[in-house]
Amino acid sequence: MPVRPTTLPRHELVGLSVEIRSASNPDLVGISGECVTETTQTLGIESEGRVRQVPKAAAEFVWTLPSGEVVATEGTRLVARPARRTEHRGDSKWR
């Protein structure tokens, strides 16, 4: 299944370009780069030669998909173990 704006939370996020649009910590706003790691609560964004750990629940992310589309996502929709989030079946709120 290709990555689309409506299905972004169900896909692997590592490797996508991302920017932080808003966050509870103003120092995080504007960080952009490539998502290189993901845990249940955080994303690792490689920016300016270093990896910054950003809490998912405290930020809004803007993703650039491989097709060139730009998608904004609330971090609270991404809080879950990556394997569980991408393999979720049934009446998923992310479908």
pTM check: above 0.95: no
Count up the domains in the chain and report the number.
1
Give me the amino acid identity at 16.
L
Rounded Cα distance between 44 and 36, Å, is: 6
* Closest residue by Cα to residue 35 from 22, 23, 53, 21: 53
- Domain containing 66: what range? 8-85
pLDDT digits (tens, 9 = 90+) for 12-55: 899 999 999 999 999 999 999 999 999 999 999 998 899 999 99
Domain contains 90: no
Residue 4: predicted pLDDT: 78
- Residue 91, pLDDT > 60, answer no
Strands, sheet with 17-23, edge to edge from the N-terminal-most edge strand: 50-55, 42-47, 32-38, 17-23, 59-64, 70-74
* Closest residue by Cα to residue 63 from 51, 86, 45: 45
Domain contains 71: yes
